[in-house]
Amino acid sequence: MSRSISHFIHWAHMRLQKELEDIEMMEREYGTAEWLVKKDDRKMRPSYTKKEKRRLVAEVDKLKKKGYTYRIAAKTLNIDPSTYCKWKKQLQSKRNTKSKASKLKST
């Protein structure tokens, strides 16, 4: 047991030493060791129209019928699975609202 502890302490010491060396190298090279994220480097999310959202939800649904899980189907179409769920819910609530309104008009 004490051997594994001493092995861990040696590993941790070496890891910290390497980390300090990396920080010193960054300070020499860049003048700072802090990470700075430029706005231009951030991942830009595409904005989709309502029509595109409907099409993507329909595509995921088609893949689900072929046996894919919604997660894999959404990732296949390059959308986040949670985004698919959000869009699906939005589209269903709009349909339900429209169908309730048309029922009220017909009575």
Question: pTM higher than 0.75 for the full model?
Answer: no
Mean pLDDT confidence for 28-44 = 67
Poorest-pLDDT segment among 35-39, 87-91, 103-107: 103-107
User: Which residues have a Cβ under 8 Å from the Cβ of 76 and sit 6 or more positions away?
Assistant: 63, 68
Q: Is the pLDDT of residue 73 over 90?
A: yes
Cα-based angle 43, 49, 54 (whole degrees, multiple of 5): 110
Q: Is the pLDDT of residue 64 over 80?
A: yes
Question: In the prediction, which pLDDT does 4 show?
Answer: 83
User: What are the tens digits of pLDDT across the range 49-63?
Assistant: 999 999 999 999 999
CB 86 within 8 A of CB 48: no
